[in-house]
Structure 1
Amino acid sequence: MNSILNYITWNVDPEIFHIGPLSIRWYGLLFALGFVIGQRILTKIYVAEGRTEGDVDVITLYMIIGTVIGARLGHTLLYAPDYYLSHPIEILKIWEGGLASHGATVGILLSLWLFSRKYKFDYVWVLDRIVIVVALGGALIRLGNLMNSEIFGHPTNLPWGFIFERSTEYSHVPRHPTQLYESLSVFLLFVLLYWLWAKYKTALPRGLLFGIFVTSLFTFRFLVEFLKENQEAFEDQMALNMGQILSIPLILVGVAILIKVWLKPTPALPGGHLPETTSKKEKSNV
């Protein structure tokens, strides 16, 4: 990477190293780090609120499955449905790239609902804690996009514009490093959410952290899309691209949650235990 006066030349190899057919890439490493570091942070949160490390191990498994399946299906069905429905086996080839954050969001929400139902957790309590580590994971994934020289922005004359030399189509013009914009914004969101939890813990109204996360994340995503190159050709004919269209309902959900929290705040359930779970334990101890 070289800085030449008014732009930065970006020519990082996406592959760290390979051994025979096995290739270790920056994107995969950063993706995995999101789960590894996130698990450690979530363990600290859960133990501080009376849960166990075993709970974190189980929810991490649900998170991995929900994230990967949701992100892959989100990309294949929303951005290139004709191709993938005609070649369904291609959907399984995750290593060839193609993951969508909106699909990952839906996958995470569904997998955590299943987790909460099976293990008798309060769903909102789970969401309020998980978004802390999801924010950190999102920041790392966007760094992975930078390492892949993908999902970048329109041309810019700003001094921090990047020339992505490994992009055959856009290799000679400085562009907005929108991967860095998103990575930094989501990292700051992680810091805010973790600080709020560390300072107030169960004093936080139920749903507040989740509402802040959804509203902030997808509002910024909506805005930064104005600086991005479209990912698919069909988006060139649209007033708003697919990322913006998919962000709107999530922003509305987040705003609705924050309004509800503001008008009628309810306390978080200690340890995320459902009332009926607590009552059953109390009866068993009589």
Structure 2
Amino acid sequence: MTSSLTLNFINWDVNSDIFTVPIINHPIRWYGIFWLLGIVLCYKMLWTIFKKEGRPIEFLDQLSIYIVLGTIIGARLGHVLFYDPSYYLSNPPKIFAIWEGGLASHGGGIGILLGIFLFTKKQKLPFLWVADRIALVVPIAGACIRIGNLMNSEMIGTKTNLPWAFIFTTIDQIPRHPAQLYEALFCIMLFFLLHYLWTKPIVKSSTGSCFALLLILLFSFRFLDEFLKLNQEDFENSMLINMGQLLSIPFILIGSTLLIINNRKKNNKC
């Protein structure tokens, strides 16, 4: 694994495989490691939150199962349905071949929401109460996944002459925006912002506000960052905005609507 400065640009020459397991002859990849890291960090932070609020850790263990399964299944089905449905409908077994790559973050987001819904329905907990706490840790998972994309030299950016441009040598010799890194850094900043706002009574007491802010800010940045990325599939080249941007809009609208409703409720109490 090497990464060096070439002229004004960063020469990114990273092997996506860490090592190969001899018995099964299957590689262990950086992408999978960062996915696992994101899950572990989220669990640790939620454990702290649940402890502080006096909630049973058993709830967290159950919630984690719903969230992890929802994320993986949703992300896979999102890729299948949003980006290449004809191929997967013609090759159904490939739907389950996650190891070949193909996870969509928007599908993962839908899977998380469904996981929260099923968990809260079973435990008879308020959906927005749980969603607020999940919102506090999601940015860290997002940052880990985007770093994983960077290690894979995937979701690469458009051409640029900016001094921090990356040359993804496994792709070509063109300096490009490190769009994955932009999202990772934004997710880290969003993590600290949400935790700061969570200390403010006006946010913490307004159930759903933290969740709404996550949806608005995260997917608004995703919408903008897509302008700096190459389209993932050829069919997107004929679209006014690409699939990533199109799928971001509903999340932004849901977050905005929730924030407006919360604001009206607060004003009615005054």
Scaled by the length of structure 2, the TM-score of the pair is 0.94
2:11 is paired with a residue whose SS is strand
Q: How does 1:1-286 map to 2 (within 5 A)?
A: 1-20=3-22, 21-167=25-171, 171-198=172-199, 200=201, 203-265=204-266
- Deviation by residue 1:42-61 (Cα, 9 ceiling, x = unmatched): 01111111202211111111
CA RMSD of aligned residues (A): 1.4
Shift, 1:198, TM fit: 4.3
- List structure 1 segments (4+ residues) > 6 angstroms apart after TM superposition: none
d(CA) in 2 for partners of 1:18 and 1:50? 43
Contact kept? 2:76, 2:102, Cα under 8 Å? yes
Shift, 1:29, TM fit: 0.5
d(CA) in 2 for partners of 1:243 and 1:265? 34
Shift, 1:196, TM fit: 2.5
Contact kept? 1:206, 1:265, Cα under 8 Å? no
Contact kept? 2:213, 2:259, Cα under 8 Å? yes
Contact kept? 2:15, 2:151, Cα under 8 Å? yes
- Deviation by residue 1:48-88 (Cα, 9 ceiling, x = unmatched): 11202211111111111000000000001110000001111
Q: How many residues align?
A: 263
- Deviation by residue 1:5-62 (Cα, 9 ceiling, x = unmatched): 3111000111112221142211000001111111010011111112022111111111
d(CA) in 1 for partners of 2:183 and 2:109? 16
Mark the runs of 5 or more structure 1 residues left unpaired by the alignment.
267-286
Amino acid at match of 2:189: L
Larger radius of gyration between Structure 1 and Structure 2: 1
Contact kept? 1:197, 1:204, Cα under 8 Å? no
Scaled by the length of structure 1, the TM-score of the pair is 0.89
1:8 is paired with a residue whose SS is strand
d(CA) in 1 for partners of 2:38 and 2:90? 33
Amino acid at match of 1:106: I
